[in-house]
Amino acid sequence: MLCRQSFSTVISLLPKSSICSVQNIPKHSPDIMRGSVCFYSTSEVKPKKAPQSSRYKLVVVGGGTGGCAVASKFASLGKECVVVEPSDLHYYQPLWTLVGAGLKGFRLSVQPMREVLPKTCDWIKEKAVTFNPKENYIVLESGAKIEYQYLVVAMGIQLDYDKVRGALDALENDPVVASIYHPKWVHKTFPALQEFKGGNAVFTFPNTPIKCAGAPQKIMYLSDEIFRMLDVRDKTSVIYNTALGVIFGVKKYADALLKVVDKRDIKVNYKHNLVEVNHKTRTATFENLDDNSKQVYFQYDFLHLTPPMSSPDVLKKSPLANEGGWVDLHKHTLQHVKFPNVFGLGDCTSLPTSKTAAAAASQCGILHKNLSAVMSGKPTVPLYDGYTSCPLVTSSKHCILAEFDYEGQPLETLPFNQAREMRLMYNMKAHLLPALYWNGMLRGRWNGPSFVRKLLHLGLGRKPNLPSS
């Protein structure tokens, strides 16, 4: 059996108690998942049962990356701030690419929700089911009503596996179908790759916005490396079927990735959108978006499925959403276009940038400034330039670090060309960024690398393209 260990160049940044080996990755079940939690913090916040009616100065809906970070920023409000989040686990999902390739243990990617939320704030462990921004309240699944002065929406993105016919059935029943986007099915990925004997390895990208748009490629490059280590690459076709018309949305990094797929002999099919999986015949059906949705069939011996995604259903039907179902924000201030006491950040919003944890980090600092201004009776300031980042892992040693803005222009932090495969970038992705996430961003102490960029570029880098106040 193939076994791989991650690099430890910066491992000292991580708590030793959080390190686990590839061999100890558990199969998914709710009880085992709770047993695989790592403990970083000594303080906890316990969930509070919602009374039938309550009122807070600030309500944060969502306990993911953006919600936790915002709550930490406003921790000084104490019990005037509440986080509404139904889950008792918090995941660092950017690590799941490496988990799927056997480079990291799943335990490094999860903590109890009670330990990542600020202990000064209230936590109500329920779902929000109704938003009424005209009257400044939300309704919970229990029927409880929470009034607010200010609202931050950070509900993340919804995984729509059910939009692909047969996908859920295949993920449940076919050992060679996996998906790194879900805590249950990321565990299937590395065992399936270990058992791969050759044939067609198919990787998909859907015809919807998704979080971490580089992840479907990252697991493909790491899988390709595994196939070479197993000595089966010469009898394997690695196929990337993407609904997009380009391999990556920013030309500088797309050009670099095209060189990677050419060097690795990876077949890329553009405008191919997965619509059905038949796990009994191991056939994946795609619609060709350039040919009147003509159906194209691929036999697979391994299938990595990236699901269609969308805004959470509760937001789609709310007054906060635009026509596409996303929370409708001013893209430079993060304030809602209709309701000035409502702000948002992260994957559930209309912000026209790539949906990543790096984007949420930059958005969090700007949201804090602008929401604080509104609370003080001052106007918002256009500060967000769309900064986002995608560490494009191309092997267990190398990574291309893509950083760019709303205009798709590179906005690189380091003073050299980041569109090259480098060990430094891999070590940052695998070791530094997880520590920065748990100990910096979720604590409200990390607003993205803009200050580092200014420092390393001596203040001479490209200025953000922002409207005047």
CB within 8 Å of 372: residues ≥ 6 apart: none
Q: Which amino acid is at 301?
A: D
Phi first, then psi: what are they for 111, rounded to 5°? -140, 160
User: What amino acid positions are annotated as catalytic residues?
Assistant: 212, 390
The domains of the chain, with CATH numbers, are: 18-157+311-375 (3.50.50.60), 159-309 (3.50.50.60), 388-456 (no CATH)
| Distance of alpha carbon 284 from alpha carbon 201, whole angstroms | 11
Q: Per-residue pLDDT for the chain (469 aa), expressed as one digit of tens each? A: 444 333 232 233 333 333 333 333 333 333 223 223 333 333 578 888 888 889 999 999 999 999 999 999 999 999 999 999 999 999 999 999 999 999 999 999 999 999 999 999 999 999 999 999 999 999 999 999 999 999 999 999 999 999 999 999 999 999 999 999 999 999 999 999 999 999 999 999 999 999 999 999 999 999 999 999 999 999 999 999 999 999 999 999 999 999 999 999 999 999 999 999 999 999 999 999 999 879 999 999 999 999 999 999 999 999 999 999 999 999 999 999 999 999 999 999 999 999 999 999 999 999 999 999 999 999 999 999 999 999 999 999 999 999 999 999 999 999 999 999 999 999 999 999 999 999 999 999 999 999 999 999 887 777 777 887 6
* Global pTM exceeds 0.85: yes
Q: DSSP class of residue 241?
A: E
Answer positive or negative: Cα dihedral of 214, 215, 220, 222: positive
Give the 3-state secondary structure of residue 110: strand
Determine contact, residues 171/177, Cβ cutoff 8 Å.
yes
Which helix (H) or strand (E) segment is 128 a member of?
strand 128-132
Q: How far is the first Cα of the chain from the last one, in angstroms, to the nearest whole number?
A: 60
